[in-house]
Amino acid sequence: MDRVVSALGEIAYDLENAALSHRLAWKAIGLEGDLQPSLGSELERKSARQFTIHREPEVAENKKPDYIVQSAASPDRVAIELKLIDKWSGNELVERLENQLIGQYMRHRECRSGVFLLVAQRKQGLTFTVAGRQRRMKLAEALDYLQMVANSCVASVSSAERVVVLALQLPG
């Protein structure tokens, strides 16, 4: 899991800082499914052959996460669910985290870890509201809130070990 998170961090760094990156192409993508192949290729490149990436494999009960990452050193798998957050409300993101990533994909006995990967195509002005919160949250606060929700869910699901909430921002 740590190597997957590290590889995603390297991709985030490249998107924000590298002279040549995919950020302009990724900003123009309108559907999550259209981003999956390119992101999967980048993740594979960053893996340094330490893990393999499978796009939309079936896990349990015909459910298909965006990616499953598996290391040769361990039978455990990491489910990655990708969301273009410009297209989702705060409540919808919470629901997808709880019910899709944790509730469906991490129910598989070998898939105890997950990454909720949010891609922000706009740098400025992203705010989110969620039920029970009095004010809108900026992206950093929303990530903290989603991580808190993930931690709470993991604590209540016996087969789950860890969920990390990450964001990739695509600056102009």
Q: In this predicted structure, what is the pLDDT of residue 97?
A: 95
pTM as predicted: 0.89
Give the Cα separation of 4 and 34 in Å (integer). 21
**Cα dist. 80→32, 66, 130 in Å?**
13, 6, 22
Q: In this predicted structure, what is the pLDDT of residue 20?
A: 57
For residue 131, which amino acid is it?
A: A
Q: What tens-digit pLDDT sequence spans the chain (172 residues)?
A: 888 999 999 998 888 887 656 777 887 887 888 888 888 888 988 887 888 888 876 666 666 788 889 887 777 789 999 998 888 888 999 999 999 999 888 877 778 899 999 998 876 667 788 877 777 888 888 899 999 999 999 888 777 889 999 998 876 6
User: Largest alpha-carbon pair distance within the chain?
Assistant: 46
